[in-house]
Structure formats: C-alpha cells, structure tokens
Structure 1
Amino acid sequence: MTTIKKMQITFDCAQPVRVARFWCEVLGYVIPDGAADDESWSAASDPTGEGPRLYFQRVPEGKVVKNRVHIDVRVGTGLVGDERFAVLQAEADRLMKLGATHVLTQRADDENESCITLQDIEGNEFCVD
C-alpha cells in the first residue's frame, strides 16, 4: 500500500510574488510567512491545509506555448445548464477584474457541461468549471 504524500504545484514565472497574490485571490489561499521576502520565489497555501501548496519561482524565459498541466477552479460542481453557466460566468468576471484574461467559453452540449478557459496574469491557462 502506498503512502499518500503532500504535493505542490510549481509555476515558472517572471514575478513570483505578484502571481502568488493573484492565485491567493482566486483560491482563498494565503502567502505563508517569509514567502514574499525574496522576489525570486513565493508560495500560496490553503489556510485549511486541505489543498495543495502552490510554489512560484522566477525563471528568465517567458511562457511560449500552452500549458501541459493546468488548474481547474471548481465552482460549478453539482450544477448543470444555465444555473451552472451563470455561476461560472460570475466567477470568470471576478477573476478578470483581478487581471485574468478570457480565452474560451464552452457552453454545455449533449456530452459536456460548460467551462470557461482563462489565463492568469502571466498567461498560464486555467479553467473555471
């Protein structure tokens, strides 16, 4: 039997503290003590300890291609149709006021529920679903 381990998700970025603050606003996370003291890195942690830690490290190169891994911000769980879409759109609107950029809105069809793809303040794609 394997042991469950803690994990963190790491972002390469140009401005670690700025990106960490953005994700804290998105997820209700906090910046741990000391994580904003050095501009070369930062972090964001779930204050309940339930969610994964996010780590942000400065790299010299900018983002060039689509992420191969992305975060899904799950706000519409259990909702369907127009009710789900309204909740997704409200959250996307809130995040765009924080600096997120709209990429794609996918409305529900016969097989899939609605989803809105955004980019964070440094262009990393994520979904509001």
Structure 2
Amino acid sequence: MTRDVQITFDCADPAALSTFWAAALGYRLQPPPKGFDSWEAALESFGVPREQWNSRSAIVPVEGERPRIFFQRVPENKAAKNRLHIDVRAAPGLEGEERMSALEAEADRLQALGATRAYRVEPDPAQLEVGFITMRDPEGNEFCLD
C-alpha cells in the first residue's frame, strides 16, 4: 500500500517561509477552504484569534503529483544542522561546467528570494561527486541545489 507524503517545516514565520518555498519550487500557497475568498476570511469565520493567523501555512504543487509542504510555527529557533534536507533538482541530466552554471543561476535566483549560499562542491569523478551547492532558506534550513 502506498502512502501520501507531506513535508513539514518547523519555523518562526510560516507565511514568509511558505512564500519562499512556493517560489523556490514552483508551488503555490494552498487555497482557502471552499466558500472563502481568503484565508483571513476563513480564519475569522472559524474564530481563530488574529495572533494565531500566522501559526500555519501550506503550499501545494501547481500541477502533478508532488508532496504538500506544511509550515508550523514553533517557539524555539533552529539550533543545529538539519538531519534531513531537501535537494532541489535544478540541473538533472547536466554534467560538468554546464551543470554548475545551471546550479549557479538557480542559486542567484534563490538568493534574490532570501536564501543564502553556504558552500559549493565541485564535480570530482574520482570521488563520484557530480557537484552541488548547499544553500540556506530564510530561516537557516539547509538545502542543496543538485
């Protein structure tokens, strides 16, 4: 039996982080429930206190079968390196300098959205390494451009 997968981020600002990841991955913010023009209208109707309106957010694929990504506010800050991270496949099928150029272009795009660069690993066939760039999202979560 197969299972659906949802990826969840603990974060300080669900609205901002979901907006970043939607732009990074080509997703969209999850639409509000039927009968509501906005999440604000839905949350107000449900009686959710305004201070809780940014406690959660979610993004969904624009098309195709990819996982929903959920963002939930937590009180603690990020404290250490992620044990699990996302690889953004920005250069599938490309090799060498063509691959690294594609990754650099994506790194520039994501930096303009608020990501920061951590480091670049060069291709090294002797080490079975094809090359990648490690980045951090606006809250410091590591991810790789692969």
Specify the TM-score bucket, using the shorter chain as the normaliser.
Answer: over 0.9
Bigger radius of gyration? 2
Structure 1 partner of 2:76:
61
Q: 1:34 Cα shift?
A: 2.9
Matched with 2:120 is 105
- C-alpha root-mean-square deviation of aligned residues, in Å? 1.2
Cα deviation code 1:25-70 (max 9, x no counterpart):
0001011123954210000111214111100000000000000110
- What is the TM-score when the length of structure 2 is the normalising length? 0.84
The Cα offsets for residues 47-96 of structure 1, whole Å up to 9 and x where unpaired, read as 21411110000000000000011000001111100000000000001000
Q: Secondary structure at the match of 1:30?
A: strand
Of 10, 13, 17, 1:12 maps to 10
Q: Give the whole-Å Cα distance in 2 for the aligned partners of 1:42 and 1:118.
A: 22
The runs of 5 or more residues in structure 2 that have no matched partner are 34-38, 41-52
Structure 1: which 5+ residue stretches go unaligned?
none
Which among 42, 55, 63 is matched to residue 48 of structure 1?
63
Q: What letter corresponds to residue 17 of structure 1 in structure 2?
A: A
Among all aligned residue pairs of Structure 1 and Structure 2, give the percentage whose two residues are the same amino acid. Answer: 49
Indicate whether 1:76 and 2:74 are aligned: no
Partner of 1:23: 21
Q: Which has the higher helix share?
A: 2
